[in-house]
Structures are given as C-alpha cells and as structure tokens.
Structure 1
Amino acid sequence: MTQQNHSSDAKTEPEIYMSGSDSALLVHPDYRGQVTSSWFDPGAWGGYARPVDSGGRGNAWFIDGYQLAVVLREYRRGGLIARLSEASYLFLRESDVRAFAEFRLLNVLADQGLPVPKPVAARYQRKSPFLYCASIIIERIADSVPLADRFLSMELGLWHRLGRVLRRFHDAGVMHADLNCYNILVQGDDFYLIDFDKSRIRGESGAARWKKSTLDRLYRSLKKVAGKQEQGRLETRWVTMNNGYDGKPFSD
C-alpha cells in the first residue's frame, strides 16, 4: 500500500492509505498500521463476526476478537432503487463517497466531545468508472442497547437527559439524517447517536425546520415500535424528553 498523509497533525487527523487506483482506505491514526482490506470482509473474521440483529438492513456485523470491539457496516440502499442496485453508488469524487463523509463527520463530532462512536476506518471500491461500494468500521459502544429496546422501561429522568443530549447535537448544528430509535444507543445512564450516513453540520439557515423534522422522525419511529397499546406511556415520555430538550427542569 502507498500511504498518502493528508494531515498536518497526525494525532487528530485521519490518513488515506491508497491501494491501487480502484479502492482506498481512510484510517484513524489510533489504528495506523493495523487496518487492512480484510477487515471489511465479515467472512475473514470467522466466528468473531456476528450479524447485528436489530434495525438496519442486515448489513452490519459486531466484531469481537483480537482485542477489538467494533462494528462493520456496509452501505446498502433501501426502497425501490435497491431493486436496481442494492450496494452500488454513483462515483463523482472521493470527498462525496458516503463512507468517507461519515468517517470525517464522526471524527469531528468525537473531537468536539459529542457522544458518538469513534471511527476506525472506511473503505470504498470502484466497481466501474461510475460506481462504487463502501463500508465503514466504528468502535462499538460497550454494554449498550438501542433505544427501541429500552424506551418503555426507562425512567422519566433518563428521557429528560436524552432531550438534553439531542439538544447538544442540534446546538452544534448537527443534522442527523435518520434519527430513529435504533440509531440512539443507551449505555447505563448515557446516550450515543450512531449511523451518520448522509448527515452533516448545517448553519442557522432553516435550523428550526430541520431540527423539528429530525425530532418528528424520532417520534414516528418510537410510535411505530410502541404500538397502539402503549401510546399513552409514550406521550408522557415524549413530553419529558422535550422538556429536557427545551432546558426545562426535570420534575417527576
């Protein structure tokens, strides 16, 4: 591999390791010299890889072994377009590669102290002059479960805390493209946001609109998981979360 260092400070910036003209790796400096292309093949991990069984499209694996605890995720399309090409995307330029964009955003958010998993590496492969496929590896949040698995049993105080966490992201201008109850992880009393594909940092223009839209998306996902019988309990929790988001004091 030929190493191309695009960093003025190797301690904080990622590096690009080129592997021929049709693929590239983007690696966090903490994993320099460790990551190879085989890391992106779940079969290469043998029994150390197991599929993630909640949310998503069956395109992610937990990797636990070799002193690692990471998540490997392949980029897959959803909806009708997936019938034409489930895993290929139009290649325009490297900066637009979805895995690289998500890696770089996670790197920025982690440096800002926001609760996100640290990126390990990202890769794309050119399938033709116009198409590519991509994958990303992130550190696993230990002992965490999706909000979808916990939200009805969580104490109201944690809902208030979740609202404050979401406000931190919005105050930083972070627009999560798919904020749902599977992309929020609960670890004890802490929360982490994951899956930042197509997400970005936005300015103040139209901020009120996109912030409301992301929260509405989260509410719809919670409502879907809760079912009709639990709508009353969900509404109480949702009000408490919004109080935390708005900076109102918690009252049980």
Structure 2
Amino acid sequence: MTEQRVEEGAGGTILFDAARVPQVDDDWFLPHRWRERGALRAQAGGRGGVAIIDTPAGEAVLRHYRRGGMVARLLGDRYLFTGAQRTRSAREFRLLAELARRGLPVPPPLASRYVRHGLRYSADLITLRIPDAATLAERLADGAFNAGLAGRVGDLIARFHREGAWHADLNAHNILVNGDGLFLIDFDRGRLRVPSTGWQRANLARLKRSLVKLGARDAAGDTFDAEWWPALIEQYERSLRA
C-alpha cells in the first residue's frame, strides 16, 4: 500500500510514498543533481523532459510536465493553479497509487512535486521504471507484433476499462511489454469514470489510429484488419465480460 505524505520543500510542494522512500527533497526533481551523484542513467528531451535516475527505491523515471501543440509556445511548462489537489502531478500520483492498489499493471508512483509561479505552476512526477521493457511501438517496428500480442493488448485494456480507468492518450508508445507481461504508463489527465461503451470504444479507436499511424497496416497489409485488430477486440470483449 502507498503511504502518501506531503512535504513543503524549499522549491515547492512534494507528495511522495513514504513506504518506499523515507524522505524526498527538491533535489529529486533536478536531473543535474542526479548527474552530480553519478545516478543519472539517461535523459531525453521532447515534450515530457524524461530522465532515468537511480534512486534509493530503484531505477525510476523522472518526467517534467510540458504542454503540447500550439499552446506550448505560449505557456511551455506552466499550468493554471486551481488548488493543490488539482495539480497534474498530484492527480496522476494518486491515480497511479489507486490503480496499483487495485492490482492493475502500472508503474508505482514514488514522488511528485508542483512549484507555484504566481497564478500558475510547473510540475514533475517520479515513477519506478518498468524493467527490461519495450513499447508496443518498438515491438511493431522490430516485427514482433502479431495476433497473439494483439490479444494480450486487448486483455490489458479490458482490465483497466472494467475498473473505469480512462487513459487520456492510449497509444502504442504508452503500452510496455516485458517478460512479466504488459503495462500501461503515462496517466497524465487520466481518471476513473463510470464504465461506458462510449468512452471505452473511443479509447480503442485512439489506439488503432496510433498503430496505423506507426505503419501497422503497411507492415502487415490485410493481416492487420483481418487478424491483428480482430484478435485484440475479441480478447478485449472476452476479458471485459469476465
């Protein structure tokens, strides 16, 4: 179980899992501090500003929240502050903790932070890293995607949908595969909803668009629509009824 604790750091408000780490300070959210300790394993740019760090609780992913699209040019990494409980970092931390409590395969949350900048705030989230995992997009690129894996993906999504877990950006980059199974990551803006066919089907349609955009139809030809996607939907519906 997650032991959620709130601390006021010098740079912002921190929420962390005291069952995994006894203390978290502002340095946890600064990649260069991990680099100084020799504990920064990798760092990537892009919208999320992701770093892989070696924490006392294990290897973890540090993500800085950034806006996407045209609005990013104006606001970058700033969001309107409407209360501590409504910050994106705190909401994702608590949602991940609840999903993990229900036994769903998500990366356990370690810590989150938000920093006030007048009427706006910036935010960060740290989650434990899923070991030895590849994204579904990578499996597609290396030719390892097939009807069997598609069925496993359908089962994964059904498990979340049964619990009313809505993923705001269900795409092939946010599904991880390793020797232990499949995992769903990046629940920014996600939430728990009353199960409904409407949003569930919209979630699936978003994933299908992602796979097609990444070249699933080009790679598999008629097999994608004739075998792969039907296998995903068949297992999804079977698991949803379970």
TM-score, reference length from structure 1: 0.86
Which of 103, 119, 125 pairs up with 2:93?
103
Q: CA RMSD in A?
A: 2.0
Alignment of 1:1-252 (within 5 A): 12-19=2-9, 23-46=12-35, 47-49=38-40, 50-52=42-44, 57-64=47-54, 68-128=58-118, 130-151=119-140, 152-188=143-179, 190-204=181-195, 207-226=196-215, 229-232=218-221, 233-235=223-225, 236-247=227-238
SS class of match (1:64) = strand
Q: Deviations over 1:176-234 (max 9, x none)?
A: 00000000001126110000000000014xx1111011111111111111165225243
Cα distance in 2 for partners of 1:228, 1:164 equals: 21
Cα distance in 2 for partners of 1:30, 1:81 equals: 38
Larger deviation: 82-91 or 182-191? 182-191
Q: How much has 1:160 moved relative to structure 2?
A: 1.1
SS class of match (1:84) = helix
Q: 1:217 to 1:35 in 2, by over 3 A?
A: same
Cα distance in 1 for partners of 2:9, 2:28 equals: 14
Q: Which amino acid counterpart does residue 43 of structure 2 have in structure 1?
A: P
Cα distance in 2 for partners of 1:220, 1:110 equals: 27
Q: Deviations over 1:28-68 (max 9, x none)?
A: 12234232210100111115321247xx6251111136562
SS class of match (2:224) = helix
Cα distance in 2 for partners of 1:12, 1:140 equals: 16
1:158, 1:189 within 8 Å by CA — same for their partners in 2? no
Q: How much has 1:95 moved relative to structure 2?
A: 0.9
SS class of match (2:19) = helix
Q: Which amino acid counterpart does residue 17 of structure 1 have in structure 2?
A: E
Cα distance in 1 for partners of 2:235, 2:99 equals: 21
Cα distance in 1 for partners of 2:102, 2:80 equals: 31
Percent of paired sites with the same residue: 40
1:14, 1:26 within 8 Å by CA — same for their partners in 2? yes
Q: 1:83 to 1:179 in 2, by over 3 A?
A: same
Q: Deviations over 1:14-37 (max 9, x none)?
A: 1111225x7210001223423221
SS class of match (2:157) = helix
Tell me, which stretches of 5 or more residues in structure 1 are unaligned?
A: 1-10
Task: Count residues in correspondence.
Answer: 232
TM-score, reference length from structure 2: 0.89
Q: Which amino acid counterpart does residue 86 of structure 1 have in structure 2?
A: G
Report the counterpart of residue 7 of structure 1 in structure 2. none
Cα distance in 1 for partners of 2:130, 2:217 equals: 31
Tell me, which stretches of 5 or more residues in structure 2 are unaligned?
A: none
Q: 1:98 to 1:222 in 2, by over 3 A?
A: same
1:175, 1:201 within 8 Å by CA — same for their partners in 2? yes
1:51, 1:58 within 8 Å by CA — same for their partners in 2? no
